[in-house]
Amino acid sequence: MFADHQIASGCVTLAAEVAGDGDPVVFLHAAICDRRMWRPQLESLGAVCKAIAYDRRGFGKTQAAPEDHSAVADLMAVINALSDGKRAILVGCSQGARVALDAALMHPARVRGLVLIAPTVAGAPEAVYTPAIKPMMTVLKDAESARDLDRVNSLKARLFLDGPLAPEGRVAGAARMQFLDMHGGVLRSPPAGKSVDDIPAFSRLGEIAMPSLVLWGEFDFPHIQDRARQTAALMGGIGQQVADTAHLPSIDRPAAITGLLQAFVERCTDSTQ
Sheet of strand 111-117: strand arrangement: 3-9, 12-19, 50-54, 24-28, 88-93, 111-117, 212-217, 238-242
Tally of domains within the chain: 2
101 and 195 part of one domain: yes
Q: Does residue 272 belong to any structural domain of this protein?
A: no
Q: What is d(CA 185, CA 160) in angstroms, rounded to the nearest whole number?
A: 16
For residue 13, the cross-strand partners are 8
Whether 245 shows a pLDDT value over 60: the answer reads yes
> What are 140-194's pLDDT values in tens digits?
999 999 999 999 999 999 999 999 999 999 999 999 999 999 999 999 999 899 9
- Higher per-residue confidence, 253 vs 271: 253
Q: What is the CATH number of the domain that holds 84?
A: 3.40.50.1820
Burial letters 189-217, b for 16+ CB under 10 A, else e: beebbebebebebbebbeebebbbbbbbb
Domain limits at 144? Answer: 134-188
* pLDDT confidence of residue 273: 42
198 and 105 part of one domain: yes
Burial letters 46-83, b for 16+ CB under 10 A, else e: bebbbbbbbbbbbbbbbebeeeebbbbbbbbbbbebbb
222 and 123 part of one domain: yes
For 79-118, the DSSP string reads HHHHSTT--EEEEEETHHHHHHHHHHHH-GGGEEEEEEES
Whether 271 shows a pLDDT value over 70: the answer reads no
158 and 58 part of one domain: no
Q: Does residue 273 belong to any structural domain of this protein?
A: no
Q: Judge contact between 164 and 155, C-beta under 8 A.
A: no
